[in-house]
Structure 1
Amino acid sequence: MNARKYAGYTCVALGFALIVLLGYGVIDPIGGLPAHAASMRDVLIGLMPSVLLAVGAFAIGLLLLRGPKK
């Protein structure tokens, strides 16, 4: 296995693990939820940085695994 595939699998696993940990509430969101959240919109905006980080790591991993076009 070359370094590109290893990095791809690592990124996919990291993205999946972050989403699972956020879902179970083991880790707090990076953005921090507003203490005075009046609606679900405010809560989702507070979660956005953490979720986007996890989805980005997953997407980068998939791109690395796909490899260059021939």
Structure 2
Amino acid sequence: MWAGHPDTKTFPFGISSTYHTFQSGDPKYKHLQYKTFVGNGRFVVNENPRSITVESRISEVIPSNAQD
């Protein structure tokens, strides 16, 4: 992909998996420090001009409850 081969195609979501944490000095965002986030990403190969875009989806992990 990085070598610029002309037959390189877009990679599907799931090519990378991530775990995210946040730190904030602003009280408005402090609650994010106590949550768990996961994500996955992909590489999109664009034409004219040929370039690569990185896309990422990040989701909050929510625990199940006794009613699930």
Give me the TM-score of the superposition, normalised by structure 1.
0.25
Report the structure, 1 or 2, having the larger helix content. 1
Structure of higher CA gyration radius: 2
Give me the TM-score of the superposition, normalised by structure 2.
0.26
Report the structure, 1 or 2, having the larger strand content. 2
